[in-house]
Structures are given as structure tokens and as C-alpha cells.
Structure 1
Amino acid sequence: MAESPPINEHTEFFQDLTLSSAFQPIISIAHRRAVGFEGLLRAKDHNDNDYPPLTVLQLPANTAEHLELDRLCRQLHANNFSKQNNADKWLFLNLNTQCLVMEKPDIGFMQILFEKTGLQANQIVIEILESEIDDRDYLLKIIAHFRQLGCLIAIDDFGAGHSNFDRIWELQPDIVKIDRSLIKRAAQSAKVERMLSGIISLIHEAGSLVIIEGIETEKEALVAVTSQADMLQGFYFAMPKASISDNSNFSLQIDHVLEQQHQVKAHDEQKLQSWFEEIKRVFETELFLFCQHGSFDECGKELFMDERAVRCNLLDEKGYQIGASRHSPHYKANLDLRFVPVLSGTDSNWSHRHYHLRAIQTPDVTQITRPYLSVTGSHMCVTLSQAVVIGDTTYVVCCDLDWLDE
């Protein structure tokens, strides 16, 4: 759909600067379209030169002037948003919570703004930088006020500075916006990517939707989608503009990223399968010898010729480890002594682990896990396992392999 220019663009004035709005789309992955727009400040000086927005926000000399500018920006963005095709779209408005805490103004401003612009409260998402506030009680009152009006609440820049999950559990935001610093690092490190997925999972468990902001590259978009974010925002999809639009390219961009995700997933599965096929024959040979002789003492000799092999364990049907783990010579030569307290598996119970559960459910079939962090040594690994029956007794034989991130 072609963009429609803003009608009678509204401007405001602050300290000889002309202020205007730019809107950056927030795109739902599942819906493949913009579901909201963040109102961003733009400014020009008296010579019509661009004036940096961050510099504008530093101009107020006191909290009263900060409050004046904060309300001016909200009024500016609401006016410009209301003049455009905003049906079924959210307007994200940044709130300077620090000046509200200091000034404690009358709370009728937003209600008046709704009446003047015709916007509905349920179209507004109030973005709060929770790290700015020390007065937690007053912050909760602010949030309760906006919720009572009918607005949604978003925590902005989560993952930057001293953000922590206590704030999410305490404030119960509808949306959490993850800071660009996390997606940038996740696109460069498989370890951080796994952490990002875990963070998003915890936020979802807390009952909040997740937006990853600051996406600038295809790789970052791919990681964001893989990490199960709900919505995306950033220059990769669109630059902020005065007009809002239902750009049909959004659906094409999302489709492209989803196709890339499917390819990456297929590649990862193929890589895991190739690992599986390479070592499966050796593992099953060791299993055959164990079943023939009933002794685990010699198990692992051929497996340990592969430097990826770390240890072999023997478990009973209930998950209890039988005897000590057998470690490969290569692993023992590079043993990290800091983890000695967790290296021994004697008397351990692994029944809660997927490699035991799946082996018991499907006996005589070799299983392989996804990569996970091993508690015995704190390293990433995959585990081969198979349940076998010798006489009337069921055993589960396991072999851990080192998994190195690319």
C-alpha cells in the first residue's frame, strides 16, 4: 500500500526550536505488518537545520521544564498520529517518569489529550524507563493511573544498565522492549543468542509480550525471530518517517527472514544428524559389547578415540547412576579442576534429564539430545543414549560429546 503523506502536520515550539514527529513502525512477526508506531522527536533550528533529538532532551534546566517538554512531545505525537490512518494501530509514547516523580503533576493531562485528538486510550502504549525511578511506590501509582485510563504499559530498554526481572514481576508490564545492545551481541555470539531466548521465555512466562528494538541487519532480524520475540523494530525494516503506512514490504521482509530461519534450522538439524551418524556406529558397537559381556569397565575405549567424546555413564531404569563416570583421556588431560565438586556422577540421579526419559520411552533405539549445558563440568554438550535390557534388568548407556559453538 502506498504511503499517504501526513495531513496538516502538527509542530510545536520549544526554546526557538521547531519540533515535529517521526514514527517508526513496530512489526508483528506473526501478522507480518506494522501493529504500532513509536513517536520519535525531530527538531530544526531557526535556520531549518536538523537539531539532534538527544540534545533537545538535555535543554531543560529543571524538572518543571522537563515536564513541559515531555508533555509537549506527547501532545505533538498524539496530534500527528491522530491525523493519519491509525485504525488498529498502537501509538507508543515515551514518558519521562523522572520528572513526573519530582514534579508530581495533576494527572488529567492524558485524558484532555484524548479528548482533543480523538484517540482512544487503548491505542496508547506508555513506554517507561524503569531504571530511572527510585521511588517505586510513586512509579506504581503512575502505572496504575495509565492502566485505569485504558493504556498499555511497556518497559523500555530492558537489558541495558541495571535492568532485572524483579522490575518485570513488580510492574507487570504488558510489553517489554529489549534493548538493542542484547540483539547486537546475540547476533555475534551463539552463547548470547541462547541467553536471549531464555530471557524472552522468562518474560513470556511473566505474562508480557516482547519487542526487540534496534534491529539493523538481517542477521539481527533472524536471531530475533529465532529467539521467539513477538514484535520487531529497527532500521532494517524502516526508518522513522513523518507519515505512518501499511508498507506491503513488511510482509515480504518477514517472509524472507522466516525462510532464512527455516534454512538455518535445517542446517543445524543436518549438522546434528551428521554428528549422530559419524559416531552412532561406534556407540552401538560399544553397546553390543556391553550387552555381550555385561561389564561397563571397558566401555568407551573406541569412543574415546574421538576427541569429542567426554564421558560415558551407566544408569538404571530409574535414572540412578551405576558406578563412576568413565572420562576420556583427552578430557582428563584438560580437566578444569574448578568443577571437581560436580565432576563425579556416583550416586547421582538423572531421571529428570531428556536423554534418560527418551531412552526409556524408546528402548533399543539410539537417542541424541539437542545441545545443552552439562552440570558435570559446565560445558556445552550433546548426549547419545540408549536403553538396553540384559536379563531382567534395564540399563541406559550414555555418552556425552563436546559441542563447540560456531
Structure 2
Amino acid sequence: MIKEIIQKELVEIYFQPIVSIRTKKVYAFEALTRCVYKGEFIPPNVLFDLSKKENLIIELDELTRKKAIEKFSEYYYKDRDLVLFLNFESTMINKYEEIKNRNRFVEKIFNLKIPPQNFVLEIKEDEITNTKALKKFCSTYKELGFSIALDDFGTGSSTFDRINLIRPDIIKIDRSLFTDIKTNQINKEIVKAISKMSHNLGIRVLGEGVEDEHAICLGLKSTINLFQGFYFAKPTSQINDDDINTIVKKIITIGKDFKARNIAGINKKREVISKYDLIANEMFSKINSLEHSHKILEDEFYKHQDIEAIYLIDSQSSKQINDTMVSENINDKFKPTKCGDEHYLKEYYYITLESKQGIFLSPKYISYATGNICKTFAKRFSLGNKSCILCLDIVVEGK
């Protein structure tokens, strides 16, 4: 069956658009393999697994790449900024030294007069065991002008040390990290961390498999600009001008949604600051001396179920005044800070101290104490000739 599929070139290439929100256009296509044999659809993973068993993986890989390049040429001649993402079988890279002279796809590109700069070679580095071959593969094609993308990054066995080895141009964050990202704080933080690291290293980031506005807006907030997923378009055999116009409309819509969310977020932050500013003022108005502060704050603590912890810091020494008041439902392994503990390297200390308003509100974080998603509100107060900072750990979402 596989031999017949290859000989008769029974595979078809589908393209899935990759969009750039910043430029409001389709930036690239990813080439995906589809096959129908005798009326039956054969999933790509099954197709490639069968070709490996028949020792025909190289032939199938070359066929799909050849057909993808031929199909792409039709689109390239209409838009010479368009880019094509080509997948490379990991088996091919592991055996690169054996097949390095079989650069038929490079010859095809040159014959069609398409610059290598319009191609991105995708690799799944966690499936590649031959690091010497991997490094040689990447350096060879980068010298020719091709870009290299790490696919499915952030899951499986992908390791950060491979970034130093491969020096990719693009990192594709795996679709699984965008699943339920609205409620999954861990995935949210992983996406933000990968994006920040990549941008600091001069690597472009692509959010893969995005299916809803929230995932895209979070990606945009994390400085991700390139996206691929069902929200914009499913893989298809042909992409016409109407399809492109539909995608552009979606890009414009998501841009408006992103701006609206940011403005709403700013207003929400102002509301939170205003609310806890009043609460902090009310608490501190009852404190006449630091000696009695702990008892007063303890009484106030139990009036507010949304406050997980309260602690007071001496502005001058950066040391804590009294022990932390904390929720009863804390992790047994967590040790709350105590009287005399240092806070001089904590943002809620030095930013509050330096800010003109004397107020600080942290981003969301997962509390060590309870696992709740929290923010820390801090405000500077004066008590006689003494300056101190009141900190409130606020529960934003329960665990």
C-alpha cells in the first residue's frame, strides 16, 4: 500500500494559515499531509508509521515536501512575502549524515526561483537522538538561508539545552499549553515564561493550536505575535482570496478584543487598588502604636474572607513587625514569615517605598500557603515618626 501511494503520489497537501496580528495579514502556511487510499482516509501518523515499517520513510518524506513546495509556488508568485513551514521527519535528521546529499527539495526551490528565506524547516527536537546530526542539519540549512523552528515546544521531552544547540529562529509553543488557559494558571505562566525567554534570545514565538479569543489575547499580552489554529482557519486544500479576507477580519476583531480586554484590566486594577486602599486605611486608622498593631490587625483580618494574609514591615529596616496573620487553611509545609524577617528584596517592599503614591499591587501568583491565586496589595503609612508598609495578600481565585 505505502509503495503504491508513493509511486502514484496519492498524498495531498493541505495548508493551514499562520497569522501575524501585528501586520494584520497571513504570514505563512504550514504544509500538512493528507492521504485517501481506495476511498479510505489514512491519518498522517498512521501513514508515516507504515512507511517506517516498510523502510520507505525517506521516500514519503521527500514526496510530501516536493508536493508542498510545488503547491506553495502558486501562492508565492502572488505574494512574495509569504512563508512556508515544512515539517522534517525526525528519522531523516537522525540519519542526516547518510542522506545529506539528497537535497532534492532545495533543488526544487531553486528551480522554482523561490528564496530559501521564504521557508521554515520545522523539527521536533525531542524525537531526535543524534545531537551531532541535529546540529549539522540546522547549521547547514541556516547557512543556505532557511529558518529553523522548534515544533511542539514546552511538552514531552523537549529540553531547554537544545535551544543552545539548535539556535532556532522560531519556537512553536505546543497547543496543549493553550488548552483551558483561562483557568489553568500553570499553563498561563509556562506560556509567559517561554515567550519572555524567547524574545530575550531574539527568537520569534508562535502560538500553535489556538481555538478561542482568550488564548490569543493571553498570547498577545505575552508578546506573542504569530498564531496558528482553528480560531483563524482549519487546514484546507485550497485557500482563496475570500478565505484570506475572512482571516483578516478575524485578526482585526481579535485586535479590538485585545484592546478592550486591556482597558477592562486597567479599570479592574484601579477598582482593586481603590477597594483595598480603603480597607488598608480603615485598618491603619485604628492603630495608635506599633505595640498594639498585631491585636488590631488580627481583629481586622477575620472581617475579610478574601484576605489570605496580613503583615507589617518597618520601612526603614525592611524587617517585619510582628508575625504574619495567615489563613487557617494553609499547607503544612508552609512557614509564614515572622517578626524580624527580612523583606528588602521583595517588590512589595521596595516599589511601595519608592513609589510616589506609596501603593503597590502585584500581578497574580499562586500562593505557597494555600494554592489560591492571589495578589499582594501594599501601602506605606506613617505612625508618628515611624514609617511602615502594610501588606495584604488578596485571594483572587480559589484553588
What's the TM-score, normalizing by structure 1? 0.85
Cα offsets for 1:336-360 (capped at 9, x unmatched) = 21113xx224443323333223321
What does residue 286 of structure 1 align with?
283
- Matches of 2:279 and 2:171, distance apart in 1: 48
- Counterpart check, 1:263 vs 2:260: yes
Correspondent of 2:51 among 57, 60, 64: 60
- CA distance in structure 2 between the aligned counterparts of 1:271 and 1:45, rounded to whole angstroms: 56
Alignment pair present for 1:240 and 2:235? yes
Judged with a 3 Å threshold, the aligned counterparts in structure 2 of structure 1 residues 162 and 61 are, in CA distance, closer, same or farther, namely closer
**Alignment pair present for 1:149 and 2:147:** no
Q: Give the letter aligned to residue 316 of structure 1.
A: D
2:391 to 393, 398, 401: 398
Q: Larger relative contact order (C-alpha < 8 A, sep ≥ 6)? A: 1
Secondary structure of the 1:394 match is strand
Q: Secondary structure at the match of 1:402?
A: strand
Does the CA-based 8 Å contact 2:25-2:248 persist in structure 1?
Answer: yes
C-alpha RMSD of the superposition: 2.8
Per the alignment, do residues 286 and 64 of structure 1 end up closer, same or farther by CA in structure 2, a change over 3 Å counting?
Answer: same
Report how far residue 61 of structure 1 moved.
Answer: 4.4
The alignment partner of 1:305 has SS state of: coil
Q: Label 1:185 to 1:344 Cα distance change in 2 as closer, same or farther (>3 A).
A: same
- Partner SS for 1:397: strand
Shift of the 304–239 alpha-carbon distance from structure 1 to 2, 3 Å rule, reads same
Rounded Cα–Cα distance in structure 2 between residues aligned with 1:362 and 1:132: 50
Deviations for 1:382-404, whole angstroms, at most 9, x for unmatched residues?
A: 22222233454432222222221
Quick check: 212-221 or 131-140, which moved more?
212-221
Which amino acid in structure 2 is aligned with residue 81 of structure 1? F
Secondary structure at 1:298 match in 2: helix
Displacement of 1:253 in angstroms is 0.8
Q: What does residue 252 of structure 1 align with?
A: 249
Counterpart Cα distance in 1 of 2:17 and 2:175: 16
Which consecutive unaligned segments of at least 5 residues does structure 1 have?
Answer: 1-11
Give the structure 2 partner of residue 339 of structure 1: 334
The answer to whether the 8 Å contact 1:318/1:351 transfers is no
For 1:57 and 1:83, locate their aligned partners in 2 and report how far apart those are by CA, in whole Å.
26
* Residues 102-139 of structure 1: CA deviation (Å, up to 9, x unaligned): 36213343432222222111111000010111111111
Alpha-carbon distance, 1:17 to partner: 5.3
* Structure 2 stretches lacking a partner, 5+ long: none
Alignment of 1:75-86 (within 5 A): 75-84=66-75, 85-86=78-79
TM-score by length of 2: 0.87
Structure 2 equivalent of residue 7 of structure 1: none
Equivalent residue, structure 2, for 1:325:
323
Distance 1:299 1:364 in 2: 24
Q: Is the 8 A contact 1:28 1:232 kept in 2?
A: yes
Match of 1:105 in 2: 99
Give the 3 Å change call, closer, same or farther, for CA 402–216 of structure 1 in structure 2: closer
Distance in 1 (alpha carbons) for counterparts of 2:357 and 2:149: 51
Q: Distance in 2 between matches of 1:388 and 1:269?
A: 25
Q: Per the alignment, do residues 366 and 215 of structure 1 end up closer, same or farther by CA in structure 2, a change over 3 Å counting?
A: closer
| Shift of residue 19, structure 1, vs aligned partner | 2.0
Identity %: 23
Could you list the per-position Cα deviations for residues 224-255 of structure 1 after superposition, in whole angstroms to 9, with x for gaps in the alignment?
A: 33443221111221122333456122232122
